[in-house]
Amino acid sequence: MEPGTGAKQFAKEYYGVTNEIDIITVLQKLNYEGLHSISVDNRMKKCVYCGYYWRDDSLRNTKKTCCEECHRGKKTLQRRKQRADKALTNPNKRTQKDDYISWLDYPFWIGESSMENVTANYEVSYSIDHIDYIYTKNRIYGEGNRKRVTENIDYDEMDYD
Ligand SMILES: [Zn+2]
């Protein structure tokens, strides 16, 4: 990973290097040799995201990352880990419907008790004949059970033009 802005800034200030390659070389050397090779104070630390040494100039010396980009990168990783942990420890609750394997050519149930429970509670619609019967009754009697006048259409007499 490339050093963050904070780490690069540190290399520029402490080693007087200016070009990109020198900066990275200096920082990699420091990572290899460790902090004992230079004079340090308690503000020297390794960025938890990019992994290079930098110096924390913040007021309370509590920063963990060398720059804003590294801070965002660290947060993104944290969120990803949290989501993964949540999915592992708290998977969606299985229901009896999940025992029905419906995505194959021949769907089947894994458990017989699940099948009985789910299919018994299934809301079955009326048959076409029954719906027809209800519809006709409603047309004749309507609301309040009062019989309406129904017209009898004589289809033989109708003019279809
Ligand atoms: Zn960094």
Is the pLDDT reported for residue 2 higher than 70? yes
Instruction: Sketch the domain layout of the chain as residue ranges.
Output: 5-68, 93-148
pTM exceeds 0.75 for this model: no
What is the widest separation between alpha-carbon atoms in the chain?
112
CA of 84 to the centre of ligand 1 (A): 24
| Lowest model confidence (mean pLDDT) among 18-22, 119-123, 137-141 | 119-123
CA of 1 to the centre of ligand 1 (A): 9
- pLDDT 10s digits, 44-87: 999 999 999 999 999 999 999 999 999 999 999 999 888 888 87
- Whole-number mean pLDDT of the chain? 85
CA of 67 to the centre of ligand 1 (A): 6
Residues around ligand 1, an ion, CB closer than 5 A:
4, 47, 49-50, 66, 70
